Chain A
Amino acid sequence: QVQLVQSGTEVKKPGASMKVSCKASGYTFPNYGISWVRQAPGQGLEWMGWINPNSGNTFYAQNLQDRVTMTTDTSTSTAYMELRSLRSDDSAVYYCARKVRWELDSWGQGTLVTVSS
Chain B
Amino acid sequence: QFALTQPASVSGSPGQSITVSCTGTSSDVGSFDFVSWYQQHPGKAPKLIIYDVSKRPSGISNRLSGSKSGNTASLTISGLQAEDEADYYCSSYTGSSTLYVFGTGTKVTVL
Contacts and interface: CB of A to CB of B under 8 A. Distances in A.
Interface stretch (B41-49, B67-75, B78-86): B41-49
Interface stretch (B9-17, B18-26, B102-110): B102-110
Interface residues of B, number: 27
Contacts of A95: 45-46
A107 B98 contact: no
B42 to A, nearest CB: 11
Contact of A103 (B1, B45, B51, B97): B51
A59 B100 CA distance: 10
Contact of A44 (B48, B52, B89): B89
A74 to B, nearest CB: 23
A95 B52 CA distance: 22
B89 A45 contact: yes
B57 A108 contact: no
Contact of B45 (A35, A61, A102, A107): A107
A105 B45 CA distance: 11
B103 A44 contact: yes
Interface of A: 35, 37, 44-47, 50, 59, 61-63, 95, 97, 100-110
Report, nearest first, the 6 A-B pairs whose CB atoms are least far apart: A103-B51, A102-B34, A107-B45, A44-B105, A102-B93, A45-B102
17 contacts: A35-B100, A44-B3, A47-B102, A50-B100, A62-B97, A95-B45, A97-B46, A100-B51, A101-B34, A101-B52, A102-B36, A103-B51, A103-B52, A104-B46, A105-B51, A106-B48, A107-B47
